Structure 1
Amino acid sequence: MTQTDADTIQNGDINADAQAAFSGTREVDPRYRLDEPALERWLTDNVEGYAGPLTVRQFKGGQSNPTYELTTPDRIYVLRRKPPGTLLPSAHAVDREFTVISALHAQGYPVARPYALCEDDSVIGSMFYVMDKVEGRVLWDLKLPGMSPDDRRRIYDAQVDALAALHAFDPAAIGLGDYGRPGNYFERQVGRWTKQYRASEIEPNAAMDRLIEFLPATLPPEGPTRIVHGDFRLDNLIMDPDAPQVRAVLDWELSTLGDPMADFSYLLIAWVIPATQKNGLAGIDIEALGIPSVAETAERYARQTGGDVPANLDWLFAYNLFRLAAICQGIAGRVRDGTAASAHARTMASQVPMLADGALAFAKKAGA
């Protein structure tokens, strides 16, 4: 992971005051207003202990499934819904989120307490679920400004430990044996994201076309079947307000059963994305900041899981950047169609060429 690699995926700075830009709530976007009386009736009937009156605000973060803060005199809840409108097949699976956090919460894994799932679109216009609001810190800037080197290292270690703990579960033993199909994980994922990309494609992209040829022809050996989060990164964690401890892992929309190396390598791509990006570290002195290196992170994960340090990171980085490009292309399609759920969606959509070029650079190192 050289600076040349980082330069390949360089793009404009979207990191300016990320903590302020993405944290907290705002007034509900008019496109995603809820039928509050209908919602209150449903909450009264389906959420144990619910008592209004209700105040609704929308979280700033989250460009896939609109997410709301539901405040009552005695408790604060979080509602996650499918966005309204025409959606890509298999996307925005809030029912799957509810299934996986229900199983993991029962095991003591750090997720929000789930209350109820509503599959009746007539209540607020689309499927949704309600969970507890977990108080703590969401850290949007990976450089963790204002912290000491020791605090940064402890937070990064806690992040890796939480991922290793997730991958320690036997899915069948906790009721998730049918949460996804075992085997051929990378093959199925490359196929899925190729279809998602093609469904949202607006203009040709030669790098994506090359990746669509290369990746399925060079799949890595299969690893064990585990619960894969699909978007495990620091800003999808709620940290304890005062300690380097993960209180909840958020945003399980992309979770399934699969190869844990997909999750782990996805976490590592932060180290090769430029620090000018909200989700990048490349080009800064991570040692001075106290942030562990890729090698240290891989060694800690291997110790926690009893596995080996991955030897094919170039292919894995190519796959993950390709996948991110496909996700951003989906957002671009939703911007075009008027169904994007975040004020930052247009910025996300603009990253497709940068991500595709970065993915192809790593694919070439892996033999493309």
Structure 2
Amino acid sequence: MRAIRITRTGGPDVLELAEIERPAPGPGEILVRNQAIGLNFIDTYHRTGLYPVKLPTGLGMEGAGEVVEVGEGVDRFAVGDQAAYASGPIGAYAEFHVVKAGRAVKPPAGVGAGVAAACLLKGMTAEFLLRRCFPVQAGQTILVHAAAGGVGSILVQWAKALGATVIGTVGSAEKAARVRELGGDHVILYRDQDVAAEVRRITGGAGVPVAYDSVGAATFEATLGSLARRGMFVSYGNASGPAPAILPGRLSQLGSLFLTRPTLFDYVATTEELDASAAALFGVIAKGQVRIDIGQTFPLAEAKAAHEALEGRQTVGASLLIP
């Protein structure tokens, strides 16, 4: 089968298309013929070595397609079922991928492989951020960085469905228009405006009870400056580079703030948690409260170009690789 592999960490140029042996599922596992593969920032962190991985390796955590083989003891899936997965193991950038049956879900009727691969990792991330990491309540005003991106666009829509007022930050007028289309109440162009000052202006000086920051280094100080007393800084990404270290005393000085660095995998650690998170996501999609937009697709062989577009902030919504 064809697969994207890396033998060293670095820029997009380390991605290589290779012919490797098709894997076979072991006990408790399924083999999925990928019909669509999700592209996520965590893939770039693995590629660069920010999140260390054992080399050589494949890349990718998310995909969807048809189950073509099942291992011993599997009763959760049968050959011919549709399956989607988003929590590894690494190696989804391939025509086939083996995953544990308990780490995959069955998309409901009407949700095709493309939408499933575009939404599962990003959508379950939005689910735990909004419903469990910091349970957003109706009437609250929240800050969402990179609001036009894959996770950000889902956060905006879902938060609106929960009754929140959403302030989003973006890097261009085009992306600002998209956030408004998604229901964002206020949009800040972070390259041209003082984010913290704008948040204070919008909130009458109070700040926001929670800020969701996937950008990292470039927005760290602005996020701190945007939080209300006892507000929560949710740092869940590094699009501009890792967030800097902070002395605990600063959190006290800025209003007894909370800082958390969550990861999806700790919030879907069991099959029961995985199923509940996916069901909540598919539920808001079915109700029309969250729309999944696939902004761009790339052939599997063009993974390098896909990573360049993602890191260059040239993507809107979700991105897919197609085997």
TM-score w.r.t. length of structure 1: 0.21
TM-score w.r.t. length of structure 2: 0.23
Q: Which structure would you say has the larger RCO, counting Cα contacts within 8 Å and 6 or more residues apart?
A: 1
Please state which structure has a larger fraction of its residues in strand. Answer: 2
Please state which structure has a larger fraction of its residues in helix. Answer: 1
